[in-house]
Amino acid sequence: MTDANVQIKETVDGNDVVLFMKGTSEMPQCGFSSKVAGVLNYMGVQYKDVNVLADEGIRSGIKEFSDWPTIPQLYVKGEFVGGCDIITEMTLSGELDTLLEQNGVSFDKDAANKIREHNS
């Protein structure tokens, strides 16, 4: 295992929710990362953001780790959930709510409902 893989695994295992993204939760540096961080922020999900632009080893390593070619990547309780399109679909269908609830991750259900109302 490379140092990047060890670091990724420790981050994923050590945090309930992790978003590997371009930029940070406060300052996303791509539209897809901004969209996922925006959903999580709006829903009040506490998560660890990892800026892949700050470390090339992490940026390339996360793609190998998940066997997923794009960033952002969301992990909940150590499991890879998906990228921007998947998180968007899960948010709109209510599947993200269910996943968070099943894993004991707190979030604002009213905010999640507002997202769905706004996009219906």
pLDDT digits (tens, 9 = 90+) for 58-83: 999 999 999 999 999 999 999 999 99
State the pLDDT confidence band at 2, using cuts at 50, 70 and 90.
confident
**Angstrom distance (rounded) from CA 5 to CA 11:** 10
Q: What is the C-alpha separation between 59 and 65, in angstroms, rounded?
A: 10
* Structure tokens that stand for 43 in this block: 């829903």
Q: How confident is the model at residue 109 (pLDDT cuts 50, 70, 90)?
A: very high
Report the pLDDT averaged over residues 37-42: 97
How large is the average pLDDT for residues 8-15? Answer: 97
* pTM of the shown model: 0.96
As a whole number of angstroms, the distance between CA 20 and CA 112 comes to: 21
Please tell me whether 30 is known to bind a ligand. Answer: yes
Sheet strands side by side (includes 48-51) = 48-51, 17-21, 73-76, 79-82
Question: Rounded distance, CA 74 to CA 101, Å?
Answer: 16
**The CATH number, out of the four listed (3.40.30.10, 3.40.50.300, 3.30.70.3280, 3.40.630.10), of the domain defined by the range 3-118:** 3.40.30.10
